[in-house]
Structure 1
Amino acid sequence: MNNALVSMTRPGAEAAVGLHYATVTGRSDKWYFLGAADIGRAQRADSCLVEPDCGDTVLVCAGGGNAPAYILAVLARAERDSAVLALPGGVALNTDHGKLTVSGRQLEMAATESLTLHAPKLGVAALLGELKFGSLETSAQQVQARFGAVSLMARALNSTVGRLVQRAKNSLRWIEGLDETRAGRVRAQVEGRHEVRAGHATLIAEGQVKIDGTKIDLG
């Protein structure tokens, strides 16, 4: 690549001020080192959003006297598949072989009508999450969830399932009002002791009542 210095000063402008082509050879903090005869280093101008990298061809504005030189634009990228769009406030958009990364202290998206995401795969990771909806509707073919602890509070809960299977080491329920079960058939199988205590107990059967045991104590 030709790194020769090419001056593009305007007619009537000061001879010490001009625009030049240069190649970036290195960087130290805010300074970019250039492969140009008369310009050793330059800073990136606020108008130059694409962050220069080594090997890039840039447009440099060189001031007269002790004024620093500024990189106005990146004309040609050495690595065409990646770039960093640096914005004021520490916000950056990074592209790397088709991958886009947006980085910043806080990121907020606001839409006046709707926001839609489409992707074959979606991943979200955070130390703390919060979702608020006025109304929420979800649908999925299959759901697998793993939680350390779950707390659920609802004014009313209605569920309709084709088959319900639950497994637990211990199950405890506290019901202040009515606990009613309606089923076609009910079967309880207990390996150890089955105990029922009530202030009043009533057992009503329209057909046969059968009690079978090695020993039966009544009263």
Structure 2
Amino acid sequence: MSHDAVRENLGSTAKAASADAGAHDMRALLHKPLPGGAAAGWAGSALGRVTQALPDDGYLVEVQPGGERWHCTRAASCLLQPDIGDTVLVAGPQREQVYLIAVITQADPGRSQLVVNGNLTLHARQGGIALHADTQLDLRSSELTLEARKAQVEVNEMDYRGAEVRMTTLVARFVGRTCEAVLDRLSVLTRSSFRLTEEVEQVRAGHIDYEARNTLRLHAKNTLVSSKELVKVDAEQIHMG
């Protein structure tokens, strides 16, 4: 056998051995367990149904019907409060550490709650915030603070019930057709008062007491003063006519 034939035979044998070694390494890599929970078939996320709510934003989620229930913590990004029977998305780095990421479908779509732990601020940097409700808008809090440069309120009917109202303003204007007030006591303190009535003004009282420090003037085209029992005029000087 020539030297060239020997070298060709040795080269073929080396290539075959190298190919067999590569195939063996590939088979070993395929059978090698993946890190973490991937060996148990964990894909990183799954859909499940909420079966129970636990304290501290914990939930039991059933990934397969009748299967094991997973303990999940609601993620901070999931603002919609999960409810029993909702279909949710759970995800995490491994099977033993999963979080409830989002609510996919609700068991009762007619009732939704956005829940956070702590203070919540809605901030629109270059726009506005609008709240729309087809039926009712309910605001409840122990304290309410409103601050704005300009406000406009349009309400067809309003009922207010409260213990006390305090208002401080430089100028107040009320324009309307009818104003009715039913009070036990009315006190008005002013430096100057002006009232103009174009037609009729009537006062019905048990006792009327007018007192002027300097001058009291009554003037009309016709003036009638009548009494059932007594009319008394008392002064140092009385001018008639």
TM range (shorter): 0.5 to 0.7
Deviates more, 1:151-160 or 1:41-50: 41-50
Are 1:59 and 1:71, in contact at CA under 8 Å, matched by a contact in 2?
A: yes
- Among 94, 97, 111, the alignment partner of 1:99 is 111
Are 1:16 and 1:62, in contact at CA under 8 Å, matched by a contact in 2?
A: no
Measure, in 1, the Cα distance between the counterparts of 2:60 and 2:222: 95
1:178 maps to a residue whose letter is S
2:33 alignment partner in structure 1: 14
- Residue 134 of structure 1 aligns to a residue whose secondary structure is coil
Are 2:91 and 2:98, in contact at CA under 8 Å, matched by a contact in 1?
A: yes
Q: Which whole-Å deviations, capped at 9, do the CAs of 1:10-67 have from their partners, x for residues lacking one? A: 947535641338988889876969899xxx886648989777989979888897xxxx
2:164 maps to a residue whose letter is A
Task: Name whichever structure is richer in helix by fraction.
Answer: 2
Change (3 A) 1:159 1:11: farther
- Among 150, 156, 174, the alignment partner of 1:159 is 174
Are 2:91 and 2:100, in contact at CA under 8 Å, matched by a contact in 1?
A: yes
TM-score by length of 1: 0.65
Measure, in 2, the Cα distance between the counterparts of 1:55 and 1:202: 79
1:125 alignment partner in structure 2: 140
Measure, in 2, the Cα distance between the counterparts of 1:47 and 1:202: 77
Measure, in 2, the Cα distance between the counterparts of 1:158 and 1:27: 54
Deviates more, 1:98-107 or 1:122-131: 98-107
Measure, in 1, the Cα distance between the counterparts of 2:187 and 2:52: 68
1:70 alignment partner in structure 2: 97
RMSD between aligned alpha carbons?
4.2
Measure, in 1, the Cα distance between the counterparts of 2:71 and 2:157: 54
1:7 alignment partner in structure 2: none
Change (3 A) 1:54 1:119: closer
Determine whether 1:182 maps to 2:201. Answer: no
Determine whether 1:210 maps to 2:224. Answer: yes
- Among 110, 133, 149, the alignment partner of 2:123 is 110
Measure, in 1, the Cα distance between the counterparts of 2:189 and 2:224: 30
Q: Considering only CA atoms, is the larger Rg found in Structure 1 or Structure 2?
A: 2
Aligned length: 186
How far did residue 218 of structure 1 move?
A: 0.6
Measure, in 2, the Cα distance between the counterparts of 1:57 and 1:154: 52
Unaligned segments of structure 2, at least 5 residues: 1-28, 235-241
Task: Name whichever structure is richer in strand by fraction.
Answer: 1
Measure, in 2, the Cα distance between the counterparts of 1:98 and 1:27: 19
Change (3 A) 1:197 1:148: same
Q: Which whole-Å deviations, capped at 9, do the CAs of 1:65-109 have from their partners, x for residues lacking one? A: xxx7334778x98xx524xxxxxxxxxxxxx42322111221211
Are 2:89 and 2:100, in contact at CA under 8 Å, matched by a contact in 1?
A: yes
Measure, in 2, the Cα distance between the counterparts of 1:209 and 1:49: 80
Measure, in 2, the Cα distance between the counterparts of 1:134 and 1:204: 46
